[in-house]
Amino acid sequence: MTSSFNRSVNAFRIVYLAPVSRNAKLAWRWWLGELSDILPKNLRRIVASKKQRLIVSTDCDDLVFQHGSEYALLLSQDQVLIRSLTLPLAAEENLREVLSFEMDRQTPFTADQVYYDFVISERSSASRTLSVQLFVAPRDVVDNALATLAAAGIQPDLIATHGLDNEPGEPINLLPDDMRGNRGTIVHWANAALAALALLLISTAIALPLIQKNQVISSLEADVQSATLAAQASIQLRQEVEKLVEGSSYLVRKKQSEPTVVRLLDEMTGIIPDHTWVNRVDIGNGEISLQGQSSAAAGLISLIEASPSFGAAQFRSPVTQVIRTDQERFHLSADILPGQDE
């Protein structure tokens, strides 16, 4: 019952709260941009000023320091793996979890061996796909650099790589989650509060006449809005439901399309007769490869072909006789047929 409740809450968040949150952030950024244009030049320079940084770069196992007050650790480019991925558009709602699932397929690592972050480079509503840049750094590389900095009494606020400016448009940060936000929080929020207060006072003076005009316009548009509101809500809800269904079925389809290694080994164990023993099994790229010895190696092809899980069985090299025995040494392979798991 708890699992069902959690799924319902997550679905509600994806369908209703996530779009509202995105739209609110976009509206807030637009409003701040409009207000900044009317500030005096000196005040605008203060509000728009960037934080200084202490940038620490890794260069051939040495640390290179640059002046500033925000600590940033820059890894060399050969320490960070960058992959460009194309995923279904619906995967955006749980993108970090999907990337964790895809990690061992797209990189030489598993998710627990790396720190990673990502940037969404493109959304295509026509093909319903999402273009993502994945940034991956091995945990041992990052942990060693953090340990060196900790010995110097430095805790970085972000970890990136050379060539990325980490501006708001590309907030790449490979810093572990449990180390983020531990420094500078009070100063950051104090500065943000003062800037917001100044903008609020200015916006109030500007907004009063605009509000009066908007009230007149709103009264004229009320009839039109009431006629289109129901249709727009229906279309939006249908689109969000389609995204939710597609996203939830993506991982299931991936699992169902690829038989598990355990099931393949169990199937092959039942096929191989008692007079045959195998000393090496390789599974990958839709193929299973066997090496071993048998007293009747030629008959293995027909036994494997009879299985619904395998096809196109063939010897990879000629069968050879083991000296002074009745055994034959063989190396064969077969294609793994999809769709066999329940």
% residues pLDDT > 90 (the chain) = 20
User: What's the sign of the alpha-carbon dihedral 72, 73, 78, 82?
Assistant: negative
Question: Hey, what amino acid is at 207?
Answer: A
pLDDT for residue 149:
86
Name the pLDDT band for 117 (thresholds 50, 70, 90): very high
Ranges of H-type helices in 258-339: 261-271, 300-305
What is d(CA 104, CA 101) in angstroms, rounded to the nearest whole number? 7
- For 261-336, give the CATH class: alpha beta
> Residues spanned by CATH 3.30.420.380 within the chain?
54-183
- CATH value of 54-183 in 3.30.420.380, 3.30.1520.10, 1.25.40.10, 3.40.50.2300: 3.30.420.380
Ranges of H-type helices in 126-282: 139-151, 185-257, 261-271
> Residues spanned by CATH 3.30.1360.100 within the chain?
261-336
pLDDT at 185 over 60: no
> What average pLDDT is seen over the chain?
76
pLDDT at 282 over 60: yes
3-state secondary structure (DSSP) of residue 330: strand
Show Cβ contacts of residue 311 under 8 Å, excluding neighbours closer than 6 positions.
305, 334, 335, 337
**Which of 71, 254, 237 lies closest to 152 in space, CA to CA?**
71
Q: At what angle do helices 185-257 and 95-106 cross, to 10 degrees?
A: 60
Q: pLDDT tens digits for 61-113?
A: 555 555 455 678 888 888 899 999 999 999 888 999 999 999 999 999 999 99
What is d(CA 150, CA 156) in angstroms, rounded to the nearest whole number? 9
pLDDT for residue 50:
47
Do residues 133 and 82 make contact, with C-beta atoms less than 8 angstroms apart?
yes
pLDDT for residue 257:
60
What is d(CA 248, CA 64) in angstroms, rounded to the nearest whole number? 45
The reply to whether the predicted model has a pTM over 0.95 is no
pLDDT for residue 115:
93
Name the pLDDT band for 11 (thresholds 50, 70, 90): very low
Q: Which residue has the tokens 């009320």?
A: 222
Token readout for 256 is 């169902």
pLDDT for residue 291:
93
